[in-house]
Structure 1
Amino acid sequence: MKKITALFLLFGLMVSAQNNRVIYEYTFRPDSSKTDSLKTEWMYLDISKNGSKYYSKKAFENDSIVAESIKKQMASGSRNIAVSRQRNGIEISYEVEKLYPGYQTFLTASIGNDSYKVAEDRTPVWKIQPEKKKIGEFMAQKAVTDFAGRSWEAWFTPDVPIQDGPYKFSGLPGLIVSVADRSGSHSIELKGLKKITQTSSTEVDTQGRDLPFTRRKPIEVNRKQYAQKLKQYENDPVQGMRELLARPNSKVKINMNGKEISDPAEILRTMERNAREEIARNNNKIELEP
């Protein structure tokens, strides 16, 4: 009884409080050719009165470390800024933002050394089904939709009257507690709810310096333009870095998995090899039709 009472108290906080965090476990198969390639990443859906933001816990922590390192170097007056790129198991680098009350949705993702904010022009069209079941402490109801090239099955709980959910999913009469595509490649399940303070930004003032691997203001594009950028990157994954290194007096030093590299030609070779290997390993993205 105490557990149930605590849950309903938490539901009240979710509805009335300024900032709340929904914690999801995202399980996915990045390589469709390998059935044993399942990976897991903890994802946050931070909800405020103005909207929500969905992002990776590990990516946020890593960005915070990089931002703090750059701030310290710039404060010391260093002319050459060393940027360390350590993946540390990070698989998800994108973010999804929704603006209330209209639920306008934006994807923020990096392609090479550029960041893009993509306005989503599609909305999941749900068909609510009669099936109900208990998921954890929640009584949930089934809904299905086709979105971005995949068929999805979701379970939502009217007990939490927030019409939001992980990734770009929203619009059901209750919080989405579970959503999975029918191929079994992507599955997102709620694991916790908590009240939080305002999330800090990981953006850093580079004082006009163009530093690789740093969070910067994204370029706003529509979905068609973003798809074209993705295609260009697949054809030439180091185009942006090549242009950066070609600038006069450009000096870049990077740390790739513990190895420090400063020679421009070696930087390009290493980055292109790593990029093409990563593209090959990630052929089963959450959106088959971006």
Structure 2
Amino acid sequence: MFQLSTYTLWVFLWFIQEPVVYHVVYDSTLILDLHAPNSPYKQEMILSIGKNSSRYCEMEIFKIHNNKNQKNEPQPVINTTSARTVVGRPVLPVSNKGIVFREQLVVDVKNQLVHKIGQIGIKTYYVKKKLPSIKWEITSQQKTVLGYTCQMARGQYSGRNYSVWFTTDLPFTQGPWILHGLPGLILEVEDSTGEVQFKAKSITRSASTLENTDSFYEYEKAIALKEKEYTKALTMFLEDPEAYTQAQVNGAKVTTVNEDTGQKTKIVGLKKYNPIERL
């Protein structure tokens, strides 16, 4: 069992706040369970891009905060220390799609850093690491995506070979998830196994002067982990979510509730977790 440590994180993230210029919505399709390749985990994700930074998170989380912005309220943060309870028991949320885990990436291009924050079980964990250097081979192949002329590039990252489509019409080096480093915004991604896919479905300019690329999460009290510790924690949770969550609360009983229906339910873990990053 690895040891967890807690420390103040706002110093690391404060300097990367900057206005959002564009929002890009992606359809994310991931084969998370190698024993269920025909049941991919599908999510709608959003990349919010600033001049030198970006934030990548679930569309559901973004909508909560976007409603605040439309009311001209400051961008709020998500509390990372308090868990929901039902009749005194901590709540493990699930959805109609299955296990719920939420992950957000804040990429600091200027300082070449990645700040990853993940809600695993009833706790929130934080990883800070260097922005990886990806060697891309730009090809001559072209196609149009959402009205933008794109070129194909190929690159390798963390054990996977990726083919991506990027456009220099939007001169940002970012893309979905952690992929970056091309002379234009990445709009489509697929790895050679077909287990990882991201496809842009809309691109819009930010309509609010209050939006910034900072974290949506209250990261000051998140639990700091190294990358391998985070991956181990996520694997343990996804393969046995109830047991992992009970361990987080020292063996106390946990109530599983479907967020979509509000009803208590049972949860089944993945048979064999297939991480995007093969460390």
Taking structure 2 as the reference length, what is the TM-score of the superposition?
A: 0.68
What root-mean-square deviation, in Å, do the aligned CA atoms of Structure 1 and Structure 2 show?
Answer: 4.0
CA contact (8 A) 1:179 1:189 kept: yes
Contact 1:128-1:144 at 8 Å conserved across structures:
yes
> Does the Cα contact within 8 Å between 1:59 and 1:92 map onto a contact in 2?
no
Matches within 5 A, 1:52-91: 52-60=54-62, 85-89=93-97
Could you say which residue in structure 2 is the equivalent of 1:46?
A: 48
- The DSSP-based 3-state class of the residue aligned with 2:198 is strand
- The letter for the 1-side match of 2:93 is R
1:66-97 deviation per Cα after TM superposition (whole angstroms, max 9, x unaligned): xx9x99xx9xxxx9698583525476621111
Query: Partner amino acid for 1:111?
Result: I
Match of 1:29 in 2: 31
> Structure 1 residues 284, 128: CA separation in 2 closer, same or farther (over 3 Å shift)?
same
Q: Give the direction of change, closer, same or farther, for the CA distance of 1:183–1:60 in structure 2 (3 Å limit).
A: same
Quick one: which of 198, 201, 205 aligns to 1:195?
205
- Return closer, same or farther for 1:63/1:81 CA change in 2, 3 Å cut-off: farther
CA contact (8 A) 1:113 1:241 kept: no
Contact persistence 1:51–1:103 (CA under 8 A): no
Q: CA deviation at 1:155?
A: 1.1
Kindly provide the CA deviation profile for residues 2-49 of structure 1, in whole angstroms up to 9, marking residues without a partner as x: xxxxxxxxxxxxxx9744211111123333344432343211001124
Q: What is residue 165 of structure 2 aligned with on the other side? A: 155
Pairs aligned (count): 237
- For residues 283 and 187 of structure 1, what CA distance do their matches in structure 2 show? 17
- For 1:283 and 1:114, the matched residues in 2 are separated by 20
What 5-or-longer segments of structure 1 have no aligned partner? Answer: 1-15, 205-214, 262-269
CA change 1:64–1:245 in 2 (3 A) is farther
Shift in Å at residue 114 of structure 1? Answer: 2.8
1:191 CA displacement = 1.4
Cα deviation, residue 120, structure 1: 3.4
Looking at structure 2, the residues matched to 181 and 232 of structure 1 have their Cα atoms a distance apart, in angstroms, of: 25
Match of 2:249 in 1: 244
1:176-211 superposed Cα distances (whole Å, 9 cap, x missing partner): 01111011122111111112331697657xxxxxxx
Q: Report the counterpart of residue 283 of structure 1 in structure 2.
A: 273
Structure number with the bigger relative contact order (C-alpha 8 A, sep ≥ 6) is 2
- State the distance in 2 between where 1:134 and 1:223 align: 36
1:168 and 2:178 matched: yes
Partner of residue 212, structure 1: none
What's the CA shift string for 1:228-278, capped at 9, x where partnerless?
Answer: 4446657875355345256xxx8x8745234559xxxxxxxx6xxx3xx32
Give distance in 2, aligned partners of 1:88 and 1:216. 31
Select the structure that is richer in helix.
1
Letter in 2 for 1:244: V
> Deviation at 1:123?
2.6
Among residues 220, 223, 226, which one is paired with 2:230 in the alignment?
Answer: 226
1:4 is matched with none
Q: CA deviation at 1:102?
A: 3.3
TM-score, L = length of structure 1: 0.66
Q: Is the 8 A contact 1:82 1:253 kept in 2?
A: yes
Tell whether the 8 Å contact from 1:253 to 1:260 is kept in structure 2 after alignment.
Answer: no
Where do 5+ consecutive residues of structure 2 fail to align?
A: 1-17, 68-75
